[in-house]
Structure 1
Amino acid sequence: MFRKAIVGCAQHAPWRLITGRRSTSTSTSTSVSSAVDSILLRSLKEHYEEAAKMNPPPKVSPPSPFGIVTGAMEGNGPVLKRMYGDEEISLSVMRLAHVVGGGDEDDDGINQLFVHVVVSKPGQNDSLHFLCGLYPDALGIHSVSMRPKHESQGFLAVPSKYNGPVFEDIDEKMRDSFHSYIEERGIDESLFPFLQAWLYVKDNRNLMRWFRAVGTFISGQKSAKGA
């Protein structure tokens, strides 16, 4: 009789049994998801707090007359600018390892930098671009190209026209002249201490910002303005 009663209930209201099973499954899934979120949020918070304890490197000023571009720490554009006569010289920087992959870094920090130098003149439609490797005691040019001023100055921007010959294929005398050209404009190893310290701080800020942004997303909170 008891079995018949259950069958009868199922025949008259089958959705009740199905709904009950779904509710239990959904509840269990939600509970597991909540637990996973909590673990991840706790880990993100711990790593954020650890990154916040970083001791910044000694403050280093860029060689005169270079000036730090306002807001450079928060963006991906030029870091330093200066005037050389009527020319504007701008310089962007990133880790060499981020460009070529791999790379060796010892415990003292970033020892291989990649710099993008742009020389612009008033009245000229194109700018002269240098991609260089910068080290504590040397600077080497990887390429020299002409690009329209309106084109992106980003590292990975693809020029819209002929990019020039492979730098190593150029006559040695011309290569030496190009090195003298940018050295005359202050682009040499004297920039390394400032750019190394600047990148160290920027990388740490980006890491903290990433931990905070991911945590905000997972917790479902609205991100704070400027975070």
Structure 2
Amino acid sequence: MARFLKPFPLLRRSFRSVPGSHPSAFDENLLRLLRNEISYLSDYLPPRPPPQRFRSFSIEDRPGEQWIRLRSKHGDEDVKVDVTMFDGAVPVPSAPIAEKVKALERGPRLHISLIVEVSRGEAFDSVLELICSAWPDSLDVETLFPLHRKVAVFRPYFGRSFKSLEKEVRRQVISYLEERGVDDDLAEFLHEYMTNKDKVELLRWLRILESYIQK
């Protein structure tokens, strides 16, 4: 017959100290590790103050969120770009060992997703949306589709993949985006920005954790 053991008393204890009591050994050790990490990141890998603008774009970045928003004007058009933090990377390719070593030395080729929206104010119903991929040195368009603000479609038709469109159509779309500041230079800037934001958010998270354990 199976025997059931009584749970260890340790498992029923809270990791946090009772308010007003001295910190437990566990708390003190965790605080020491957190402070060492915060000190290292602050002294040796400090984040830079994030810029408020890039060219014609203003940047909206709320602490604790994993995305930012860029806004710009192009004539009578409003350009809005929603940008995620790093959300993927290209895996190391199947290649001879020497090429794999070089790829590892270069580091991962990280990916950022963009949703670009071009509109002409509330008076116009139509909006053009483009889904893009930002790489460290280039920007790729994945798909584009028109939307109507006043018509809610459960499963809108997104059209064909951008890469399957005719070459001249692709060229015109890329020129359209470049005129509005959505180009390879923006992709490069966003990778630098998100690398810095990753440091900012990590330090913020560590300090919140430190403050919580100290209470």
TM-score normalised by length of structure 2: 0.66
2:32 is aligned with 1:37: no
Letter matched to residue 84 of structure 1: H
1:73-84 correspondence runs (5 A): 75-76=65-66, 78-84=68-74
Q: How many residues align?
A: 187
Over 3 Å counting, the alpha-carbon distance change for 1:203 and 1:68 in structure 2 is same
Letter matched to residue 79 of structure 1: R
Over 3 Å counting, the alpha-carbon distance change for 1:203 and 1:107 in structure 2 is farther
Unmatched segments (≥5 aa) in structure 1: 1-24, 151-158, 222-227
Pick aligned residue for 2:166 from 171, 178, 189: 171
Aligned to 1:181: 176
Aligned to 2:114: 115
Tell me the distance in 2 between the aligned counterparts of 1:160 and 1:214: 42
Letter matched to residue 68 of structure 1: I
Over 3 Å counting, the alpha-carbon distance change for 1:26 and 1:135 in structure 2 is closer
Cα deviation, residue 185, structure 1: 1.1
Aligned to 2:78: 88
Unmatched segments (≥5 aa) in structure 2: 1-7, 17-23, 93-102
Letter matched to residue 92 of structure 1: D
Aligned to 1:127, what secondary structure does the other structure show? strand
Aligned to 1:143, what secondary structure does the other structure show? strand
TM-score normalised by length of structure 1: 0.63
Aligned to 1:79, what secondary structure does the other structure show? strand
1:180-199 correspondence runs (5 A): 180-199=175-194
Aligned to 1:64: 55
Tell me the distance in 1 between the aligned counterparts of 2:147 and 2:67: 16
Residues 68-113 of structure 1: CA deviation (Å, up to 9, x unaligned)? 23x45554554321101111112233355x1467587866897644
Over 3 Å counting, the alpha-carbon distance change for 1:172 and 1:212 in structure 2 is same
Aligned to 2:139: 139
| Structure 1 range deviating more: 32-41 or 190-199 | 32-41
Pick aligned residue for 2:201 from 201, 206, 219: 206
Letter matched to residue 128 of structure 2: L
Aligned to 2:4: none
- Amino-acid identity (%): 24
Higher helix share: 1
